[in-house]
Amino acid sequence: MRKGPDIDSYIYVLAFKLLAERRRLALTMFLTPKAEPFWGGTYFPKGRAYGRPAFVTVLKTVAQAFHAEPTACKKNTKSCARGLR
């Protein structure tokens, strides 16, 4: 029996495409406590490399933005929701 698509994966990948890059690399999506995507990116190395920040730096920066700039995060969340509809 064939399985249906993974709805969560579809939603988060589509949300990422609406927010940022269109590359096919490892996807990292950041979600609100209600599992709503508000930011994402592809391939964050363990340490700063290839002109990209270290993953731990990304985590800290996104956490800080989520708490310090809730309006911007809500704007992204709403934009994703509109695009997904």
Q: Report pLDDT for 2.
A: 42
Q: Report pLDDT for 66.
A: 95
**In contact, 28 and 19? CB cutoff 8 Å:** no
Q: How far is the CA of 25 from the CAs of 6, 28, 43, 48, 75, in angstroms?
A: 18, 9, 6, 17, 25
Within a domain: 2: no
Give the pLDDT confidence of 29-41 residue by residue, as tens digits.
999 999 999 998 8
Range of the domain at 44: 25-57
Within a domain: 75: no
Within a domain: 70: no
DSSP structure class, residue 6? -
The total domain count for the chain is 1
Within a domain: 18: no
Task: Pick the more confident residue, 43 or 40.
Answer: 40
pLDDT classification of 1: cutoffs 50, 70, 90? very low
Within a domain: 47: yes
Q: What mean pLDDT is predicted for residues 58-79? A: 94
Within a domain: 40: yes
